[in-house]
Homo-oligomer: A and B are copies of this chain.
Amino acid sequence: MDIFKAFEERYSHKEGFLPTEVPLTDLERIAKAGIAAPSGVNRQTVQLIILPNRDALAPVCAVAPTIGLETAPAAIAVLTDRTITPADAFNFEKEDYSAAVQNMLLAATALGYVSLWLDSPYFDPEKERQARAALSAPDTHRLWAVLPIGKPSVTGSRREKLPFEQRVTVL
């Protein structure tokens, strides 16, 4: 898909998914796009865990159920490896994981799927810990988001965007 079409078509799918399976090759292609994103000081802090089916997804969903995680046929969990990130101002975990997520949302769109940047369930440190355990991820990692991926069961609604002129200035 042309990249400018992907920018336009991507939206946050907050509805349910069809049970149609997502081939592992597509999930790997999306993950490959994620790790192709830049990272601060090229530390490559982002770690991805592909959940290719309901069996893999169910324990993570159980920690904090949402319509997306309850119905999606697959997902990709987005973590950072904190052993390679300093705790000070030169910590780029948020930037790193956000750039990786954006690449994956675009890649999913280009392959005909919908997805969602689902981070809110993991703002609660205890839920984050439980979900990380369900993923068998080490204690040295932090879970930031889980992206449900699949075909939509209903057409999702796009959030309204402010006009270009209100967000971009030419100096």
Q: Which A residues fall within an 8 A CB radius of B?
A: 1-4, 6-8, 10, 12, 24, 27-29, 31-38, 42, 44, 46-52, 56, 89-90, 94-95, 98-99, 101-103, 105-107, 110, 117, 119, 123, 135-136, 159-162, 164, 167-171
Contacts and interface: CB of A to CB of B under 8 A. Distances in A.
Oligomeric state, in copies? 2
Contacts of A94: 94-95, 98
A24 B47 CA distance: 38
Of A6, A8, A31, A52, the most chain B CB neighbours within 10 A belong to: A6
Contact of A102 (B37, B48, B56): B37
A168 B31 contact: yes
Nearest to A90: B123
- Most interface-central of A37, A46, A110, A136 (chain B CB within 10 A): A37
A164 to B, nearest CB: 6
20 contacts: A2-B2, A3-B106, A7-B107, A10-B38, A28-B170, A44-B167, A49-B169, A49-B171, A50-B170, A52-B170, A52-B171, A90-B123, A95-B117, A98-B98, A99-B99, A99-B102, A102-B103, A103-B106, A106-B106, A135-B171
Given A38-B12, A107-B3, A167 B48 contact: yes
Contacts of A135: 171
Nearest to A48: B168
Contact of A35 (B6, B31, B167): B167
A105 B99 CA distance: 10
Nearest to A5: B3
Contacts of A90: 123
A158 to B, nearest CB: 10
